[in-house]
Structures are given as structure tokens and as C-alpha cells.
């Protein structure tokens, strides 16, 4: 009997779940099945996330399915997972992270810096739009939501110059050929957990050891450091927030951005990778005290 893994119905969510199922099969020769679910975040596409409940709108129905025993686990994009986990649940495993960068996709191949004045750029992320406005204060930001293909289609439909997406999603979908430009991590800080997958299950799950076996330790401590930063700032979809942690031998370097009292603040920190949770918290405090 295989593990039933819950997933959103979008193509990207299913591809990500297939990746995890494949890792489990390669390691344990265990065949898993998918349980496909609609979430509130997938159904309501004409309203921004902060107005319909923030990040949790992509995970709540999935957690209910696990509680009811219809699935044993779920695969999430870590950037969609709130920092507060419901009672009894945990992110038991994070496989190796994909490219964390944001990318610019345009239909005419013109990079951001060469766009004409007043260019129309699509994104519903406050973090992305705030950072685009830092690079191109003359740009017009156009809110767009939906799955990857829907957003790409909106470039023509809504007469946009281009849109901002996550590199990881396009790579997993085999669509990296449409990327016009990778946005540099130093000047365009990604969402917390961007590019990483998390496997959620009940702490009491009988499959926990199998799920933990595909964990990638470096991914785990970097994403947990970013989430510690988010927890310290109480960040969700309501404020532009982003962080990216990377390892340099025994050290961890984290960059973070956050909007505080109408001011967009960027800070960084370097410290021991063994102190990763505290590092994320200290970076949050640097921003509060800026």
C-alpha cells in the first residue's frame, strides 16, 4: 500500500507532487497516489491574497483532508506555507531546493532596464512590485493572479510588457525557455522559501521516517532561517517581505527585505550556520531597529 499525497490541482502543484513521489519510489520502491484538491486560493482569482486570508488559503483544505485520513501527507511550495503550523502538523521534510530567483518574462524579449517609460508589468505580489518600483519607478504595476500558464497568457490579453514569476516553477514545468531575464538575488530578494518544497504530515504519521528520508539538510536550515525572519516580523501577504539564506562553508548569509511604517528596508546578516534560527530572528530585529 502506497502513501496518498494531497496536492492542489494546478499543473505545477501536480508536477511538484510527482517529483516527491518519484524520490520516495527511488529510495523505497514505494508507489504513492495523488489526491487532487481545490483550495480557496485556486478558486478565488480576482482578489488579492491578503484579502482572502493570506498564505493559508492554499493549504487549509489540504490539511483537512489529512486530518480526515483521506491523505497521509501533502506537498506544498514553501513560499505558500504560513509560519504558524496548525496543532499536530509539521513540515516533516524539505527536498533539495530549486532555483530561488525571480524572473522577468516578456513576449518581446526586452529586459527590464530597456523597457520604455510607463511599461506595464504584471504581478500580484507586493514584494515583487515594491522591488520592481525600486528598479523602475516609472513602471505601471498590473495585478494578475492564477496559475503559471494563465499569467503567461495575460501578457497578451492584458497588453502587458511582461510579468514576474518564480524561476523554480518555470523550470519544473519545462518552461524556462520563455524566461527573458533572471533577477539578481542581491538586488531582487525572493519570497521566503521560494524554490523549496515542503512535505506536510501529522506528527503521528506512520510514514514519517519514509517522508524524512528525502530531506535535504542545507535546504532545511536555509528555509527555516528565512521563516524565522518572517516569524519575527509577523510577515505574511499583508506586507512586502522576502528573504534568502545561503551557506558559505560554516557560515550562513541572509538578506531580508520588509516594509515597515511605509519604508522598504533591506538588511543582511552573516553568522554561524549552526545558529540559523537565531540568525533569522536577529535579521528581523535589524530591520525593526533600522
Q: What is the DSSP letter of 196?
A: -
Helix (H) or strand (E) holding 64: helix 60-67
Quick check: is 33 catalytic?
no
Provide the b/e sequence for 163-201 (b: ≥16 CB within 10 Å): bbbbbbbbebbebeebbbbebeeeebbbbbbbbbbbbbb
DSSP string of 262-279? TEEEEEEEEEEGGGHHHH
CA gyration radius, the chain = 19
Give the three-state DSSP class for 62: helix
Residue 210's contacts (CB-CB under 8 Å, 6 or more residues apart) are: 3, 24, 27, 28, 30
- Beta pairing partners, 259: 264
Q: What is the dihedral of CA 242, 257, 255, 195, to 10 degrees?
A: 10
Are the CB atoms for 233 and 246 separated by under 8 Å?
no
* Burial of 69 (C-beta count, 10 Å sphere; 0-12/13-18/19+): exposed
Q: Which of 33, 38, 50, 80 is catalytic?
A: 80
Question: What is the rounded distance in angstroms from the CA atom of residue 201 to the CA atom of residue 276?
Answer: 23
- The sheet carrying 4-8 orders its strands as 33-37, 4-8, 73-77, 197-202, 89-93
List the catalytic residues.
Answer: 80
Amino acid at each position: 500500500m502506497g502513501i496518498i499525497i494531497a496536492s492542489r490541482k494546478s499543473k505545477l502543484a501536480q508536477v511538484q507532487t510527482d517529483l516527491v513521489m518519484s524520490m520516495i519510489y527511488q529510495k523505497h520502491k514505494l508507489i504513492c497516489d495523488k489526491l487532487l484538491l481545490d483550495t480557496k486560493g485556486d478558486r478565488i482569482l480576482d482578489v488579492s491574497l491578503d484579502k482572502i486570508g493570506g498564505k493559508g488559503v492554499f493549504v487549509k483544505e489540504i490539511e483537512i483532508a489529512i486530518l480526515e485520513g483521506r491523505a497521509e501527507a501533502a506537498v506544498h511550495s514553501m513560499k505558500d506555507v504560513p509560519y504558524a503550523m496548525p496543532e499536530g502538523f509539521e513540515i516533516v521534510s524539505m527536498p533539495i531546493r530549486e532555483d530561488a530567483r525571480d524572473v522577468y518574462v516578456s513576449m518581446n524579449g526586452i529586459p527590464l532596464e530597456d523597457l520604455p517609460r510607463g511599461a506595464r508589468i504584471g504581478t500580484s505580489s507586493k514584494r515583487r512590485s515594491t522591488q520592481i518600483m525600486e528598479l523602475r519607478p516609472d513602471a505601471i504595476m498590473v495585478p494578475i493572479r492564477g496559475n503559471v500558464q494563465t499569467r503567461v497568457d495575460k501578457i497578451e490579453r492584458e497588453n502587458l510588457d511582461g510579468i514576474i514569476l518564480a524561476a523554480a516553477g518555470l523550470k519544473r514545468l519545462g518552461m524556462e525557455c520563455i524566461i527573458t531575464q533572471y533577477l539578481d538575488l542581491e538586488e531582487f530578494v525572493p519570497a521566503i522559501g521560494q524554490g523549496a518544497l515542503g512535505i506536510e504530515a501529522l506528527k503521528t504519521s506512520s510514514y514519517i521516517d519514509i517522508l524524512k528520508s528525502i530531506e535535504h539538510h542545507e535546504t532545511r536550515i536555509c528555509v527555516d532561517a528565512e521563516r524565522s525572519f518572517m516569524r519575527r516580523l509577523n510577515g505574511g501577504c499583508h506586507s512586502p517581505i522576502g528573504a534568502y539564506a545561503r551557506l558559505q562553508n560554516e557560515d550562513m548569509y541572509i538578506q531580508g527585505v520588509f516594509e515597515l511604517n511605509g519604508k522598504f528596508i533591506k538588511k543582511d546578516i552573516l553568522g554561524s550556520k549552526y545558529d540559523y534560527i537565531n540568525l533569522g530572528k536577529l535579521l528581523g530585529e535589524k530591520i525593526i531597529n533600522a
